[in-house]
Structure 1
Amino acid sequence: MTYRLHFPADVFDTYKQLPELARRDLALVLVDAQEDPLARSEPYGQDDGIIRTVAQGHVTAVLLLGRDTMTITVLTIAYAGTA
């Protein structure tokens, strides 16, 4: 089943400010996570199956998995590259 992706407005603003390659990297890992978020992500701290991380290149995102609503919410984005 495909999960629906949700970006809060402030997190989407962060996404829009990323360099083009970082936006592409993040978009790719998020699209992959929509099919099977547990298989396509890593635990964030203790593995509770709810808070997860995805990373590619120089960008990482923390996700909240809503199993009942089939929603992935992007909680925060970190970029470790140069602008």
Structure 2
Amino acid sequence: MTYKLRVDPVIHGQYASLPDDARAQLAACLIDALADPLAHSAPYGADDGVVRTIARGHVAGVIIIGEDTITLVQIISIA
């Protein structure tokens, strides 16, 4: 199953303001997670299979896995 991506406009604004390389790294993480979110993410705290972390290079994000959606809820830029 391929999941649908949901991004709040505020989070999208943060994404749009990232440097090009960080934006590309986060986009790659999200694309991978859409195909298989558990395989392409790590637990965020306790492993509930719902709140997960994605990371690559200098950027990380927190996602929430729904029934058929992935919601990006936080972006962390690692300088």
TM range, smaller chain? over 0.9
Question: Secondary structure at 1:26's aligned position in 2?
Answer: helix
Corresponding letter in the other structure for 2:39: A
- Provide the rounded CA distance (Å) in 2 between the counterparts of 1:80 and 1:61: 11
- 1:80 lines up with 2:78 in the alignment: yes
Q: TM-score, normalised by structure 2?
A: 0.98
Helix, strand or coil for the counterpart of 2:55? strand
Aligned residues: 79
Quote the residue 1:3 is aligned against. Answer: 3
Cα distance in structure 2, aligned partners of 1:52 and 1:9: 20
Cα shift at 1:40: 0.6
Q: 1:33 & 1:50 partners in 2: Cα distance?
A: 12
Shift of 1:28: 0.4
5+ residue gaps, structure 1: none
Equivalent residue number for residue 55 of structure 1:
55
| Percent pairwise identity | 47
1:80 Cα shift? 1.2
Aligned equivalents of 2:15 and 2:77: distance in 1?
10
Measured in 2, the distance between the counterparts of 1:39 and 1:80 equals 22
RMSD of Structure 2 on Structure 1 (CA): 0.5
Which aligned segments of 4 or more residues in structure 1 are displaced greater than 2 angstroms?
Answer: none
Give the secondary structure class of the aligned counterpart of 2:49.
coil
Deviations 1:10-60 (A, max 9, x none): 100000000000000000010000000011100000000000000000100
Match of 1:71 in 2: 69
Structure 2: segments with no counterpart, 5+ residues: none
